[in-house]
Structure 1
Amino acid sequence: MTAEAQKGHNQFGNLPVWDLSDLYPGKDSPEFKADLEQAKALASQFEADYKGKLTELTKAGKLVAAIKDSEKLGDLSGKIGSFSFLQYAQKATDPDRAKFMGDTNEALTNLSTKVLFFELELNRIEDADLEAAFEKDAELARYRTWFAELRKAKPYQLDDKLEELFHDKSTTAYSAWNRLFDETLSSLTFEVDGETLNMESTLHLLSEKDEKKRESAFKALGKTLAANSRLFTHITNVLAKDKEISDRWRGYDNGDGGLWQVLARAGRGCRAVL
């Protein structure tokens, strides 16, 4: 597979692109649809098997089975999500690819909501019970470092319903704004010496030996980015405020009050410098 080069700005001709067939033959393939349905089924089964039972399983020496089932689901959903993102990243301006990634992310968010309880409940297991389980089960003890990292989030966990709300809203909160930024940036074009170029080709010209070409590319970048600065500023402000809200609810100590307050105190009305 190759990607067509823009005229005059690629001495190597058509360059190779990712071959995603090792993951799935295509976004409409039966293999992809089957794996997505399997992931949904695994998530539902995981919830039925383990929700509300992790402390009991820990004391009974059976917690490692839940961890392995979680890994199995994580591997499958990771494969699905990777394929969705990579085919989108190949051509972020393609609306069909963008829709496919959006639909896939929504499906993965819905199924992951069913297993959201897992890490929350793991952090509610008493330290003494978990340590005793480590001593009895060498296989479980292999996950000791993972548990140590997981428990760092324990002081900042919210109740289950709030965690579920934060999780469900992620697709319409920071994830949506990140996607808007990426798609907008990918769609921009730059007029350089009478030729319309995309971002990659224009940035490439900044490394040209010819000073005039570098200058033309630099001015084209500045002109187009400045024309879109209002949108990019708004995206930055929303993301900063979104993080401030999340940090405040979780009780993180931001010291100086967080990026949102810093920008406001600077008298910029949170107009970030791009």
Structure 2
Amino acid sequence: MATIPRWDLTPIYPALSSEQFKADLKEVVLLANGLEKDLGSPSCNIEEAVYAYERILDYLENLSAYSSCLLSTETGNPDFLKAVNQVEQEALVVQRLEVSFLNFLKRHEQEVHQLAGEGEPLCAYRYVLSELLEEQEHLMEPALENLASDLARSGTDAFSRLQEAISSSATSEDGSGSKTVVQLRNEAFHPDRDVRKEAFEKELSVWKTHEVAFAASLNGIKGTTLTLDKERGYASPLDRALKQSRIGPEVLTALITTLEKNLPMFRGYLKAKAKALALESCAFYDLFAPVGTGGKTYTFSEARSFIIDQFSLFSEDMGLFAKKAFSNNWIDAEPRKGKVGGAYDTSFPLARQSRILSNFDGSFNALSTLAHELGHAYHDSVVLSQSNLLRSYPMTLAETASIFSEYVVFQGAISACSADERLTLIEHFLQDTTQVCVDILSRFYFESSVFEKRAEGALVAEELSALMVEAQKRSYGDALSVYHPYMWAVKGHYYSSDLSYYNYPYAFGQLFALGLYAQKEKDGSIFATKYRSLLEKTGSTSAQKVALILDCDITSEKFWQEGMDIIASYAQEFAHASDH
């Protein structure tokens, strides 16, 4: 396989020890302290205060993304951990400023609404300013908010880092050698069931070894979330999550109901997969097992060319962006010890660039993951020209561009392949959609039950594992014979006090993206321009209004079912092929 790249962070900062990094750390504190002082003055100009606040957020996001990128590729590096802690320390000043800024807006609420009126200087900010004013109503007293921010560093944030550090470095040791849990999880794609099963059992053993630490972390984070959300006047963590997602409960109800109604279709696919694999039923370690002999492997260079080509066929703009990301070394795709598993995209507002982390292994799944993260990065590139408050899109819409990009690549692959390759690609698509719909639903069920139980007291690891299996049985039903009791330890999304329920946005993104792709087929060549316009608006209004740009009603089960129907057509084709 050709050389797999590591990213180049020097255009962001020459080095962690550079004067530029140190200067920006000082600058963000100076600017924040200066603005906080100004906000207390009766003569403080609202418009100027908004712009100054955004500039401070840009500095902080730049510093935070940089230090996090360093640590995520070397989780054991003490200098990188120190840098993350240092940025978090300075972030406390900005978090205190946020409270002051929201209270400032509230004190001048009438004038804020006037400035955000039609034709006024802050007209473009109308939605986000109203959102900030609503958020202010959920603030505790300033002293309590400041204390909560300070305590998070040695509480919820530390618990989150502990989960990340253990899950990226924990190993299984036996006579055959040492493997990280990331390497063991990658064996889930191995064609030999014995290899998959052995890796699965070793993985479970690793999680069990560290289950006390994971359980303590999850209890600490979920307990803190319950306490703070209650003190801030939210009905529940889900209530806050919906506001962060910029959707109403009616949207979530329509989405979850559609997912549940289509569970029989997904279970039918898994039973057809078991048949194709000559099994009585699938186990959890069979979910990613390859089907057919058409599975192609890619060098990184081949994956790069394919993604650029497919993006370019959809949109010249998107293709040029992907080429720039590859050419400028924005991607760290080499798997290695100490590097976190999975994949993510992060942006640097001061540099107007993004960076992508992945763990490339040559599979189509790895190629698809690259396309997914490049979709995120493209979305960032579209909104980075806008000011901070107007480009901060919600979780729901964050997954739309990424999953849309995945589907663009999938369509490119399936349109030029042999019959056997087609079966393999369809099965890969169904693997992914099963994860994003069925497994995500199990995670939604699990998180709901954890919050319910955690309100009554702390949960030991065995209880968390039991809740996890119960949630998986509820989603997968009889389509699986063996479940994964430690998925609560695997998924870092559970370990955040600021973002609860980071699960349903993936299902939202999957079905919304498929609905958009169906619209593309109707609109033809003009769709790419409309799609970019939609992405441009994702940070400045509600998800429902963004969807209406392309006449999509996300409060309707009918809309979500249109996306499901695309999945069902492939599930039907796969079932037919497995019968023959």
TM-score, normalised relative to structure 2: 0.41
Given the alignment of the two structures, is residue 272 of structure 1 paired with residue 464 of structure 2, yes or no?
yes
One-letter identity of the residue aligned with 1:153: E
Report the counterpart of residue 103 of structure 1 in structure 2: 86
Amino acid at match of 1:99: K
Partner of 1:4: none
Residue of structure 1 aligned with 2:29, choices 36, 40, 50: 40
Percent identity, aligned pairs only? 21
Per-residue deviation, 1:258: 8.3
Q: Which has the higher contact order (CA 8 A, sep 6+)?
A: 2
Say whether the 8 Å CA contact 1:237–1:260 is kept in structure 2: no
Partner of 1:239: 221
Deviation of residue 222 (structure 1)? 0.9
1:105 maps to amino acid: E
Further displaced range: 79-88 or 39-48:
39-48
Residue number among 436, 440, 453 corresponding to 1:262 in the alignment: 453
- The structure-2 alpha-carbon separation of the partners of 1:135 and 1:88, relative to structure 1 and needing over 3 Å to count, comes to same
Matches of 1:161 and 1:172, distance apart in 2: 18
Residues 114-149 of structure 1: CA deviation (Å, up to 9, x unaligned): 4531123213433x3333333486221221011122
Equivalent pair of 1:88/1:98 in contact (CA under 8 Å):
yes
> Within the alignment, does 1:166 sit opposite 2:357 as a pair?
no
Residue 229 of structure 1 and its aligned partner are, at CA, apart by 1.1
1:60-139 maps to which residues of 2 (within 5 A)? Answer: 62-126=45-109, 128-135=110-117, 138-139=120-121
Task: Provide the rounded CA distance (Å) in 1 between the counterparts of 2:75 and 2:460.
Answer: 31
Task: Give the C-alpha shift of residue 223 in structure 1.
Answer: 0.8
Aligned counterpart, 1:223: 205
State the Cα distance separating 1:157 from its structure 2 match. 1.6
Identify if the C-alpha distance between structure 1 residues 268 and 158 changes in structure 2 by more than 3 Å, giving closer, same or farther. Answer: closer
Structure 1: segments with no counterpart, 5+ residues: 1-11
Alpha-carbon separation, structure 2, partners of 1:267 and 1:81: 31
Displacement of 1:247: 1.6
Superposed displacement of residue 184, structure 1: 1.6
| 1:219-264 residue CA offsets vs partner (Å, 9 max, x unmatched) | 1101111111121111111111111110221122139998454257
Residues 35-64 of structure 1: CA deviation (Å, up to 9, x unaligned):
1112122112212222354xx65xxxx311
Q: Take 2:25 and 2:10, find their aligned partners in 1: how far apart are those partners?
A: 16
1:43–1:112 contact (8 Å) kept in structure 2: no
2:560 alignment counterpart: none
Contact 2:226 2:237 in 1 (8 A): no
Contact 2:187–2:195 under 8 Å retained in 1: yes
3-state SS, counterpart of residue 122 of structure 2: helix
TM-score normalized with structure 1 length? 0.83
> 2:374 — aligned with what?
none
Cα shift at 1:15: 2.4
Q: For 1:77 and 1:266, how far apart are their aligned partners in 2? A: 36
Answer whether contact 2:215 2:459 (CA < 8 A) is retained: no
Provide the C-alpha distance between the structure 2 equivalents of 1:174 and 1:48, rounded to a whole number of angstroms. Answer: 29
2:84 alignment partner, SS class: helix
Deviations 1:155-212 (A, max 9, x none): 3222221122112222122111111111121220123771211122211111111222
**Residue ranges of structure 2 left out of the alignment (5+ in a row):** 239-447, 466-485, 487-580
Partner of 1:15: 4
